[in-house]
Homo-oligomer: A and B are copies of this chain.
Amino acid sequence: MKREYCGLFGIYGHPEAARMAYFGLYAIQHRGQESAGIVTWDGQKIREHKGMGLVAEVFNERHLARELKGDIALGHIRYSTTGASLIRNAQPFLVRFGDMHLAVGHNGNLVNTLKLRKELEAQGSIFQTTMDTEIFVHLIAKNLGKNSLEEAIIKACRRIKGAYSFIILANDKLIAVKDPNGFRPLSIGRLGDNYVLASESCAFDLIEAEYMRPVDCGEMVVIEGGRLTSHRICDKAPTSHCIFELIYFARPDSYVFGELVYEKRKLMGAALAREAGVDADYVMPFPDSGNYAALGYSQVSGLPLELTMVRNHYVGRTFIQPSQDMRDFGVRVKLNPVKSMVKGKSIIIVEDSIVRGTTIRTRVKKLRELGARHIHMRVSCPAIRFPCYYGIDFSSKGELIAANNTNEEIARFIGLDSLHYLSEEGLLSSVAVKDAYCLACFNGEYPIRPACGAGKMCLEDGVAVLPGLEKCC
């Protein structure tokens, strides 16, 4: 199973729909840098362009002005996970049956795909990709003969399990669906008379559209002829929003699940200061991920904020490897400490998460070399100890240190004087509705068990399996 962070954008009825999709994807580029694609419908023909790389690399003026004609557009960006970075897996996924052209963009991860795939293959279906999205499309096709498109989509949704936010462009309709648990964000906005859809509201800001509301859990929204209608795909299930969107993944200026990310992160930092305050000369983030929690910590604790770690703004995706004796170069080139801010100082570092801990260890060691007196770390979420089946690929960051180590062991490994992870209570104190979030990566309580049973995750596409963190299913 492929883990997928992704970003979605849809727009209906705009004369420059592809261009709007381009900008919408541009605003949520942080959700996926592997590939980008846009599909448009001009009333008669479907057009697509997809490519590997950033939105700005994949599209040029010719694509937008001349090729991607039409007033309905669907855009998708995909995250670079491990090896299988293939144009074949770029989305939107586009198929035709008869006169109908169906383009599907997916954010999330299904957990019963192996079973469904075997069932479909037994009926003669053929598969061209390893994406769970292709299974969903086959299920729609199987139901389409005797049902309307909307009914076929609902029937397909009832067969799949897991996390999914879909946007579907089907000739002159634009359809959005969110799974009953509501794992992944998807919101509705308006731009003049047109409806827009996006994973995060910052996409609306860029094109000056107005944020309206999130797509509801288990809701299917159909935009057609300028009107939006809402349907339920099933009964209500307990809500299980992915809290990692708030902690780390979404942009701070976005609304996701109806919450403003910037405020949530400051509240997490504030909760940290209350839970585990410690005396120090100042508070500092590891830029830019810890910036907002550090603000919250500083304001509640009264300790000054400093930006001691300076980023090189020109670090790109590639650079030449250093000599063998240049240890830790990859970290050093990104973050360089301001020396005089370190010597003899007691420092509280605020971070949003620790995955492998090796980067942090390298920088902490440097701070020690420069003469830091005390180094404390405060992390704005609980320790991540369990795998995610719903679309967050912790493995892409390497081995989860907290799965096999106590806090004391981690603090020793990194070289800290003290380490504190925010408690589940502290974390939930930052959100509006406390029981609406999935905390499985912290506590192992999964809202939906994978089809294959005991949380085992399957090996596919050469993705390395984490110790105790197997893939599924």
Which positions in A face B, CB cutoff 8 Å?
16, 19, 22-23, 26-27, 29-30, 33, 54-56, 59-61, 64, 87, 94-98, 102, 118, 121-128, 137-138, 141-142, 144-145, 202, 205-208, 251-253, 260, 262-263, 288, 291-292, 295, 298-299, 304-307, 310-314, 316, 318-323, 326, 329, 332-333, 336-341
Contact = CB atoms under 8 A, between A and B. Distances in A.
A19 B59 contact: no
Given A54-B316, A260-B338, A299-B304, A144 B128 contact: no
A61 B323 CA distance: 11
A336 B56 contact: no
Given A56-B316, A95-B126, A142-B124, A253 B326 contact: no
A314 B310 CA distance: 18
16 contacts: A19-B323, A23-B322, A54-B316, A56-B318, A60-B320, A64-B320, A97-B126, A123-B124, A126-B138, A126-B141, A128-B128, A205-B336, A208-B326, A252-B338, A262-B340, A288-B313
A252 B202 CA distance: 30
Contacts of A295: 304-307
A29 B61 contact: no
Contacts of A56: 314, 316, 318-320
B26 A341 contact: no
Contacts of A304: 295, 299
A366 to B, nearest CB: 10
A192 to B, nearest CB: 10
A316 B29 CA distance: 12
Given A262-B338, A320-B22, A141 B125 contact: yes
A453 to B, nearest CB: 21
Contacts of A207: 326
B59 A320 contact: yes
Given A320-B22, A340-B260, A124 B96 contact: no
A341 B142 CA distance: 49
Nearest to A322: B23
B19 A341 contact: no
Contact of A29 (B16, B94, B312, B340): B312
A41 B304 CA distance: 49
Contacts of A313: 29-30, 288
Given A16-B323, A30-B314, A263 B340 contact: yes
Given A61-B321, A253-B338, A262-B310, 5 more contacts: A60-B320, A95-B128, A96-B126, A252-B307, A260-B338
B124 A145 contact: yes
A312 B56 CA distance: 13
A147 to B, nearest CB: 12
A126 B133 CA distance: 13
A22 to B, nearest CB: 6
A251 B314 CA distance: 12
B124 A310 contact: no
B253 A206 contact: no
A127 B314 contact: no
A98 B118 CA distance: 7
A253 B29 contact: no
